[in-house]
Amino acid sequence: MTKIKDKHIMKRVFIVIVSIMFILLAADITASLYLFNTTVVREHASAGRAQNFTGVNWNVYSNTRNELETLLNETKSNEYQIESCDGLSLYAQYFKSPFPNTDDSIKRIAICFHGYTGKGGSNSSAGSMYFLNKGFDVLMPDARAHGESEGDYIGFGCLDRYDGLKWIEFIQNMYDAEDKENRLEIYLYGVSMGGATVCMMSGQELPNCVKGIISDCAFTSPEKIFQDILRYDYHVPPAPIISTADIFCRFTAGYSFSECNAADEVKKSTVPILFIHGSADSFIPVEMCYELYNNCASKKDILIIEGAAHTESYYMNREMYENKITEFFNL
């Protein structure tokens, strides 16, 4: 009789344990799918939610934003499309500077990469004003799964770095066709996800015409950002949600979160990099900027704008921001 009771108890315990495991597994899959769908899948990624994380009152900077919009409207000269390595149509706008370059023997072009849920030719690349005013032409691509570019899945710099190489190749071909007598210099500039993109590009084999990289408020990896969001905003432990979401990303978007590591890529850099960050960035902590700077193998410098939140540095202290670029790259 005792043995029969023990068997019933063991059976019930087993059923409870299995039920709990299924509940936990279902909860993990649900949470992982939610994370993947709301961050990686284009149709569910929210620009409003992303802006809320910055905590910046952009109305304060309406004059600067209007100045940028006017300058872009006055200097836009063309639109281009290229094909990515995986067959997507990628879109960019080209802006021709109305100002003379300090050295007319050099053809200088800046490629400006916007942030998450942004697009080229918008306020997300305010630093483009610096380049236009310095006599640079500016190419502003829409990242894959953003703006006019095709794509269902956001690349978080991991896929975008290869798209960036395609845009460099496009500029080289355009330069060779139109301006053979001048010497080409390309500078890469990126903000937030765009900053991480140019850092990841620094680990690739870049052509000699790429002379400098400016990374503003870049993350070291999206995985770490997702961990912080889950831990501090949703108050849930990141594991195993991140790992499961990574599996979804591998099989649907074609890349792994662990591949998107700007802190590892800058270890291979041979191009000078200027790292910029706001000290009050609560979305991408300033510690990430220091990690990128410390890991960087090439010539480097760092600028921390005191009191600036995420993507706010240029607006908060434009003079210091522009002077640092001029000084570091001797422009």
Q: Which residues pair with 301 in a beta bridge?
A: 274
Instruction: Please confirm whether the linkage preceding 240 is cis (ω < 30° from 0).
Output: yes
Cα of first residue to Cα of last residue in the chain, in angstroms, is: 90
What does each of the 331 residues of the chain score in pLDDT, given as a tens digit? 555 555 555 555 555 454 444 444 445 466 666 777 778 788 877 766 666 667 788 888 888 888 888 888 899 889 999 999 999 999 999 999 988 777 777 889 999 999 998 888 776 678 899 999 999 999 999 999 999 999 999 999 999 999 999 999 999 998 865 555 568 999 999 999 999 999 999 999 999 999 999 999 999 998 888 888 778 766 777 777 788 888 878 888 888 887 889 999 999 999 999 999 999 998 899 999 999 999 999 999 999 999 999 999 999 999 999 999 999 999 8
**pLDDT, position 51:** 66
Q: d(Cα 164, Cα 96) in Å, to the nearest integer? A: 19
**pLDDT, position 186:** 96
Instruction: Return the HEC string of 80-112.
Output: EEEECCCCCEEEEEEECCCCCCCCCCEEEEEEE
CA dist 151 → 74, 155, 158 (Å) = 29, 9, 14
Beta strands in 114-163 (DSSP E): 137-141
This prediction's pTM: 0.89
